């Protein structure tokens, strides 16, 4: 029989049903629809000891005195007020390792798509039903031997670097946190100052959390530093890139192309001018979700909650800047 209650913020449906199936026998999972008001959510959280969500208001937490942990199912935690939640004494843990493989594979797919002009090939062949007509003279590139700059060498950045070893790239990285020498050697990566990484890279890929420091970290100044032939890949958080500046850079040939899984506003408006450019590949924030990564995320979430319920310190804690 369940001995503890845990709230999972999700609309009723397949995702909620899946998490109910994955919950350990000693946990009763309470489904809380995010569309409800805080006033409507509060009664559901009275006996809850942990919350699985990446968007919980401080006012609501004040009405849930038994909550001992907020656990996310993804690496992102930018919608949580870490400072205010911390003042309530509630720790927050993310789930970055769960989707690291999925996001890294999506990132490599973006690089291949941009280098091989796969979206043009698809459009001309499948949509226009032409065989090579319109593809003659198209500049198709390899990733092999290119210089790739990884901004953010956390769990996802490391997985990207690991996969790039198979492409024989020169892989640079920038991070505010030191990466041990043995890890650098294992991944065949070189530390580089941010500006120099932008100048030298043929492909720049972003893998940082969204914080005050990283919001808008790629804007006019940074795009001006990049090679006109360079690609930008963003599979972390949309606001890390100044979208207007990116549109200008792509329109004016300051950089060659961009692969974006995330945008500043999601869902993005249908009139987003990036949709009008033919040197952009956009996917709808789907780098992380997948069968395997969803399983890993659920497994880690319940494991970490189990640690808290047992009086142990949770893993993967995140803190305000």
Assess contact for 36 and 10: CB atoms under 8 A: no
pLDDT of residue 93 exceeding 90: yes
* 14: pLDDT strictly greater than 70: yes
**Is pLDDT larger for residue 137 or for residue 90?**
90
* In CATH, 4-98+290-309 is 3.50.50.60: no
Average pLDDT over residues 107-126: 95
Domain ranges of the chain: 4-98+290-309, 100-282
Q: Please list the residues that pair with 151 across neighbouring strands.
A: 174, 206
Confidence at residue 135, expressed as pLDDT on a 0 to 100 scale: 87
Q: What is the pLDDT of residues 161-182, one digit of tens each?
A: 999 999 999 999 999 999 999 9
Instruction: Please tell me the distance from the alpha carbon of residue 142 to that of residue 272, in angstroms, as a whole number.
Output: 30
Residue 103 DSSP SS3: helix
In the chain, beta strands by DSSP E: 4-9, 27-32, 48-52, 70-71, 92-93, 147-151, 170-174, 189-191, 203-206, 231-234, 257-260, 280-282
Note the pLDDT of residue 142.
97
Task: At 287, list the tokens.
Answer: 């780098």
How far, in Å, CA of 211 to CA of 198, rounded?
20
Superfamily of segment(s) 100-282:
NAD(P)-binding Rossmann-like Domain (3.40.50.720)
Residue 100 is predicted with a pLDDT of 94
Residue 22 or 76, more confident: 22
Tokens for 130, please give them: 């032409």
Instruction: Name the CA radius of gyration of the chain, rounded.
Output: 21
Question: Is residue 229 scored above 80 in pLDDT?
Answer: yes
Confidence at residue 134, expressed as pLDDT on a 0 to 100 scale: 85
Buried b (16+ CB within 10 A) or exposed e, 40-57: ebbebbeebbbbbbbebe
Per-residue pLDDT, averaged over 107-134, amounts to 94
Q: Given pLDDT bands bounded at 50, 70 and 90, which one contains residue 97? A: confident
Q: Check: CB of residue 167 under 8 Å from CB of residue 189.
A: no
Task: Supply the residues annotated as catalytic.
Answer: 237, 266, 285
The residue to which tokens 């001995």 are assigned: 3
Q: Which residue has the higher pLDDT, 137 or 273?
A: 273
Q: Is the dihedral of CA 31, 35, 37, 40 positive or negative?
A: negative
SS3 302: helix
Percentage, residues of the chain above pLDDT 90: 92
Mean pLDDT computed over 36-49: 96
> Reading across the β-sheet that carries 27-32, which strands appear in turn?
27-32, 4-9, 48-52, 70-71, 92-93
Strand partners of residue 52 = 8, 71
Flag whether pLDDT at 193 surpasses 80: yes
**Percentages helix, strand, coil for the chain, rounded to the nearest 5?**
40, 15, 45
Question: What's the token pair of residue 252?
Answer: 């004016």
| Chain-centroid distance, C-alpha 113 | 19
- Could you give the CA distance from residue 55 to residue 51 in angstroms, rounded to a whole number? 10
Q: Span 270-287, mean pLDDT? A: 97
256-283 burial string, b = 16+ CB within 10 Å, else e?
bbbbbbbbbeeebeeeeebeeeebbbbe
Q: What pLDDT sits at residue 1?
A: 67
CA 2 to CA 24: how far, in whole Å?
A: 8
pLDDT score recorded for residue 262: 98
Task: Round the average pLDDT of the chain to a whole number and report it.
Answer: 95
**pLDDT confidence tier of residue 96, bands split at 50, 70 and 90:** confident
Is 3 strand, coil or helix?
Answer: coil
Mean of the pLDDT values across residues 260-269? Answer: 97
Q: Are 187 and 161 in contact (CB under 8 A)?
A: yes
Look at residue 160 in the predicted model and tell me its pLDDT. 98
Which residue blocks in 23-57 are alpha helix, DSSP H? 38-41
Q: Which residue is it, tokens 């994955």?
A: 22
What are the distances in angstroms from CA 183 to CA 78, 107, 123, 131, 170? 28, 21, 41, 46, 16
* Under 8 Å between Cβ of 258 and 281: yes
For the chain, give the number of residues.
Answer: 321
């Amino acid at each position: 029989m369940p001995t503890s209650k845990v709230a999972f913020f999700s609309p009723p449906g397949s995702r909620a049903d899946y998490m109910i199936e994955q919950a350990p026998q000693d946990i009763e999972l309470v489904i809380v629809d995010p569309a409800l008001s805080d006033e409507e959510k509060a009664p559901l959280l009275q006996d809850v000891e942990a919350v699985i969500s990446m968007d919980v208001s401080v006012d609501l937490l004040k009405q849930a005195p038994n909550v001992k942990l907020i656990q996310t199912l993804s690496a992102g935690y930018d919608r949580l007020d870490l400072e205010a939640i911390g003042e309530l004494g509630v720790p927050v843990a993310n789930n970055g390792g769960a989707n690291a493989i999925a996001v890294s594979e999506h990132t490599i797919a973006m690089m291949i798509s941009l280098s091989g002009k796969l979206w043009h090939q698809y459009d001309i062949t499948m949509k226009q039903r032409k065989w090579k007509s319109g593809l003659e003279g198209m500049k198709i590139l390899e990733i092999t031997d290119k210089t790739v700059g990884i901004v953010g060498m956390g769990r996802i950045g490391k997985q990207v670097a690991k996969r790039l070893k198979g492409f024989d790239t020169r892989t640079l990285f920038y991070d505010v946190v030191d990466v041990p020498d043995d890890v650098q050697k294992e991944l065949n990566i070189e530390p580089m100052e941010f500006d120099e990484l932008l100048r030298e890279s043929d492909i720049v890929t972003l893998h940082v959390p969204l914080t005050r420091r990283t919001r808008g970290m790629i804007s006019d100044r940074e795009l001006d530093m990049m090679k006109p032939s360079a690609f930008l890949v963003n599979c972390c958080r949309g606001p890390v890139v100044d979208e207007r500046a990116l549109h200008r850079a792509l329109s004016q040939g300051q950089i060659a192309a961009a692969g974006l899984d995330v945008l500043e506003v999601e869902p993005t408006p249908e009139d987003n001018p990036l949709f009008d450019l033919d040197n952009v590949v956009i996917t709808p924030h789907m780098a992380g979700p997948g069968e395997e990564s969803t399983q890993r995320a659920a497994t880690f979430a319940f494991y970490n909650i189990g640690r808290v319920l047992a009086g142990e310190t949770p893993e993967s804690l995140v803190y305000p800047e």
